[in-house]
Chain A
Amino acid sequence: MREPVYFDYAATTPVDPRVAQKMSECLLTEGNFGNPASRSHKFGWEAEEAVEVARRQVSDLVNCDPREIVWTSGATESDNLAIKGVAQFYRKKGKHLITSKIEHKAVLDTCRHLERDGFEVTYLQPGEDGLIRAEQVQQAIREDTTLVSIMHVNNEIGVRNDIAAIGEVCRQEKVFFHVDAAQGAGKVPIDLSSLKVDLMSFSAHKMYGPKGVGALYVRRKPRVRLEAQMHGGGHERGMRSGTLATHQLVGMGEACRIAKLEMKAEAARTLALRQRLWDGFRDMEEVYANGDLEFHVPGIINISFNFVEGESLIMSLPEVAVSSGSACTSASLEPSYVLRALGMNDELAHSSLRFSVGRFTTEDDVDRVIEQVRGAVEKLRDLSPLWDMYKDGVDMNKIEWAAH
């Protein structure tokens, strides 16, 4: 068997060699290994300098002040800090939060935790296209709402929300707006000087940086205050204690610098690859792309192959690394909560795969994946009683299935 083709860039990306080089310079005795918080010697000053350069590189990518960037361990921690931090700091003002049903688990689970702590959360239902509209947010805002948390780009289907419009609504209603931008940052332009966003979560490993590092943007004007979730030495202006991991932050900084520099060309290239992939399937019967393809990030596409079950499809694709829309592989037999929230029926949700391409994907890779997926779908449809029934014109909605 050949080495599988990696089509799971939305799960994580490999580190760019330029990033790895910068990181490796911050580890050894002869490198920049000092503690950035050490004030009394050159080692500390140099490490601090490197960390501040990296902070500037992150802020340059999204056009904000470097003092608005707080380092974290990743987007999950950023989401936790933003949501719990704001909810708890402003709890006397109100205990109502708004989010959507298709947020990442880092947001949903944090909201669930706050619900157990006496907060009330409204979970907005996306349209069939996967998008949350500003009007929906407007209608859900109450007197006691303190925070709205809506993702920029959905990790399973790749749709991109209009965070500018949602931000306008939040600012007008004087409600803080948090955006999980783990999938969007570095892929599509984000300008925090014009967006009315108060908090934004970033992850390095979705943009060719290392795992284990991320950042939270916390707006200074108008000021957003947070209750710290990690206590200790008072690093990051008291918002997030813990020794700064110089090599990780330098890696994230370099990843952001490259992303900004190459964003335009890279977006065009990955979009062309995604289109090539979709073109390779669209002549097949009963194959659907999920979510709006216009408001979309370039590298992700989620496709349903009707009458074929996702887990067996992945099983017959040993040379293709993709993830299943259905969560069967994680031993829970439920189909994807994201696809179901879009109103998709269970069988179509069970039949979905997420393909995500990126910096190191080639046209040959795409062609190889098309060939293998087509072969696997044909094989499994030959095995599928549902495909037989579809071909015989049987209306499957009229059959009384014995749910088990």
Chain B
Amino acid sequence: MAYSDQVMDHYENPRNVGKMDDKDSQVGTGMVGAPACGDVMRLQIKVDEEGIIQDAKFKTYGCGSAIASSSLLTEWVKGRSIEAAESIKNTEIAEELALPPVKIHCSVLAEDAIKAAVSDYRDKKAASSDKA
């Protein structure tokens, strides 16, 4: 299968690969997918007091398109508010990376990952304010 230049670029030079401390109250973690299906994404965001994403990291097990989708997403969410981040649509990712139809599910997974990360961050925040 031929990959687009955008996918190859992210695949060969993935941005923001890494792991954050998921116990940190400022960190939201989203892990989506399943090994049996051939792709698992872990996306983490670090959010400041104003609700702005300061940093993002990912690790992905999956095909080149899945890796590129998550790499692109980390670039996009940095500096955005969590509301803006969770409104990113899979179609925007698919379009930017010129994904073929059989790889659209990779962009869907990326959208699920950022939504899960934001939701995890909110849950943590709610839990800590309950304690306070």
Residues of A in contact with B (beta carbons under 8 Å apart): 307-309, 311-312, 315-316, 326, 328-329, 331, 333, 335, 345-347, 350, 382-388, 396, 401-404
How far, in angstroms, from A77 to B105 measured CA to CA in the complex? Answer: 37
B: interface residue count bin? 20 to 34
How far, in angstroms, from A312 to B34 measured CA to CA in the complex? Answer: 16
Question: Which residues of chain A are within 8 angstroms of B17 by Cβ–Cβ distance?
Answer: 382-383
Question: Which residues of chain A are within 8 angstroms of B11 by Cβ–Cβ distance?
Answer: 312, 315-316
Given the known interface contacts A329-B1, A333-B102, the answer about A404 and B14 at a Cβ–Cβ threshold of 8 Å is no
Question: Which residues of chain A are within 8 angstroms of B35 by Cβ–Cβ distance?
Answer: 346-347, 350, 386, 396, 401
How far, in angstroms, from A382 to B11 measured CA to CA in the complex? Answer: 13
Per DSSP, chain B at the interface is mixed
Residues of B in contact with A (beta carbons under 8 Å apart): 1, 3, 11, 14, 17, 19, 31-42, 59-64, 66-67, 102, 105, 108-109
Write 24 A-B pairs (CB below 8 A) sorted by A numbering. Answer: A308-B61, A309-B38, A309-B39, A312-B62, A312-B67, A315-B11, A328-B38, A346-B37, A346-B38, A347-B35, A382-B17, A383-B14, A383-B61, A383-B67, A385-B42, A386-B40, A396-B35, A401-B33, A401-B34, A402-B33, A404-B32, A404-B34, A404-B37, A404-B109
Question: Which residues of chain A are within 8 angstroms of B32 by Cβ–Cβ distance?
Answer: 402, 404
How far, in angstroms, from A403 to B37 measured CA to CA in the complex? Answer: 7
- Most chain-B Cβ atoms within 10 A of its Cβ — which of A308, A335, A388, A404? A404
- A-B CB proximity, top 3 nearest: A401-B34, A347-B35, A346-B36
How far, in angstroms, from A404 to B40 measured CA to CA in the complex? Answer: 10
Question: Which residues of chain B are within 8 angstroms of A385 by Cβ–Cβ distance?
Answer: 31, 40-42, 59-61
Q: For chains A and B in complex, what number of residue pairs have CB atoms within 8 angstroms? A: 86
Given the known interface contacts A383-B14, A385-B41, the answer about A309 and B62 at a Cβ–Cβ threshold of 8 Å is yes
How far, in angstroms, from A388 to B40 measured CA to CA in the complex? Answer: 12
Question: Which residues of chain B are within 8 angstroms of A311 by Cβ–Cβ distance?
Answer: 38, 63-64
Are B36 and A403 touching (Cβ within 8 A)? yes
Are A388 and B105 touching (Cβ within 8 A)? no
Are A315 and B3 touching (Cβ within 8 A)? yes
Question: Which residues of chain A are within 8 angstroms of B62 by Cβ–Cβ distance?
Answer: 309, 312
Q: B109 — nearest CB in chain A belongs to which residue?
A: A404
How far, in angstroms, from A244 to B125 measured CA to CA in the complex? Answer: 78
Question: Which residues of chain A are within 8 angstroms of B40 by Cβ–Cβ distance?
Answer: 385-386, 401
Q: A397 — nearest CB in chain B belongs to which residue?
A: B35
How far, in angstroms, from A328 to B39 measured CA to CA in the complex? Answer: 12
Q: B71 — nearest CB in chain A belongs to which residue?
A: A383
Q: B108 — nearest CB in chain A belongs to which residue?
A: A404
Are A384 and B36 touching (Cβ within 8 A)? no
Q: A331-B102, A383-B59 are in contact. List 13 more A-B contacts (CB 8 A).
A: A309-B38, A309-B61, A309-B63, A312-B63, A312-B66, A345-B36, A385-B40, A388-B19, A388-B59, A401-B40, A402-B34, A403-B37, A404-B32
Are B41 and A333 touching (Cβ within 8 A)? no
Question: Which residues of chain A are within 8 angstroms of B37 by Cβ–Cβ distance?
Answer: 333, 346, 403-404
Q: B7 — nearest CB in chain A belongs to which residue?
A: A315
Q: A347 — nearest CB in chain B belongs to which residue?
A: B35
Question: Which residues of chain A are within 8 angstroms of B61 by Cβ–Cβ distance?
Answer: 307-309, 383-387
Question: Which residues of chain B are within 8 angstroms of A387 by Cβ–Cβ distance?
Answer: 61
